[in-house]
Amino acid sequence: MTSVVERLSGPRPVFSVEFFPPRDAADEQRLWLAIRQLEGCEPAFMSVTYGAGGSSRDRTIRTTGRVVQETSLLPMAHLTAVNHSVAELRNVIGWYAAVGVHNVLAVRGDPPGDPNGEWIRHPNGLTYAEELVALVRELGDFCVGVAAFPYGHPRSTDLDGDTENLVRKFRAGASFAIAQLFFEAEDFLRLRDRMAKRGCDAPLLPGILPLTTVRTLHKTVELSGAPVPPSIARRLEPLADDPKAFRAEGIDVVTELAQRLIDEGVPGVHFYTFNMSKATTEVVGRLGLLPARA
């Protein structure tokens, strides 16, 4: 078994990619085109999200299994506690193990329908991500990752408390974390510093979404919970009505961000692809992370 942590421990920084499960046949075709194109770039690992509220569980499982069977990629399975009993979670974890998936991202997940709504535990389920981490580790030889929040989890009251929650996930058995979206390198680096202050030096990957359209900029605001910094707004907002120029400047912005983080020693960069390959391939190429060709 190859683990994500092993892929992150090499002499050079790496990159990884994340996809959404397909909603229909057309989505499936787009997804697999992107997977095949990025496979040639040799990412350290890839993942398929679980969908809001665990809504796409079956499609996620099916796609992850197909990646194992049909590609050379190292898959990381997503798993959430939303709407799942412990018995159901055990079945999913067992299925992943049976098809050869031994890397899992364990997140509590958002309430279905409204990500900011009240969290309601399944009557026979789990309440916290650290419990899900412990369950996965209990059931087999898994390398478990967790989510980290540069600006704090939406339900956390302060950054110190949020960092303590993250450290508890590592104490429960997690081996690495992937940071949710953020805008500036310092936002990520301060999170890493807070971890280090608590004696936690586990690998922490920045999560980055290529800013190719106004929509992706708005999506970053939505998913990060932070407004666009003035320094980035000055570069991108004047180009909102010029898609080509916006895309070019957006690629520059995220390339500069990723390069700064690589210079600061991150072991890798995790790209949210939106099931497209071109922008991620461009950024990875500019960062010098593509495989050497004979």
Residue 18 annotated as catalytic? yes
Q: How many CB atoms lie within 10 A of CB 35?
A: 22
Separation of alpha carbons 157 and 220, rounded Å: 21
Indicate left, alpha or beta for 244 from its phi (over 0: left) and psi (-120 to 50: alpha). alpha
Q: Between vectors from CA 41 to CA 35 and to CA 47, what angle results, nearest 5°?
A: 45
Furthest C-alpha separation in the chain? 56
- Which two three-digit tokens encode residue 91? 């079945």
| Both structure tokens of 225 | 């919970």
- E-assigned strand segments in 67-155: 75-80, 103-107, 143-148
Q: Say which of 18, 186, 222, 264 is annotated catalytic.
A: 18
The sign of the dihedral angle between the CA atoms of 144, 105, 258, 110 is negative
- d(Cα 192, Cα 177) in Å, to the nearest integer? 11
Q: What angle do CA 83, 124, 162 make, to 5 degrees?
A: 65
Residues 6+ apart with CB under 8 A from 16: 4, 43, 44, 45, 46, 47, 76, 205, 268, 269, 270, 271
In this structure, what is the dihedral angle of CA atoms 276, 278, 280, 281, given to the nearest 10 degrees? Answer: 140
Provide the annotated active-site residues.
18
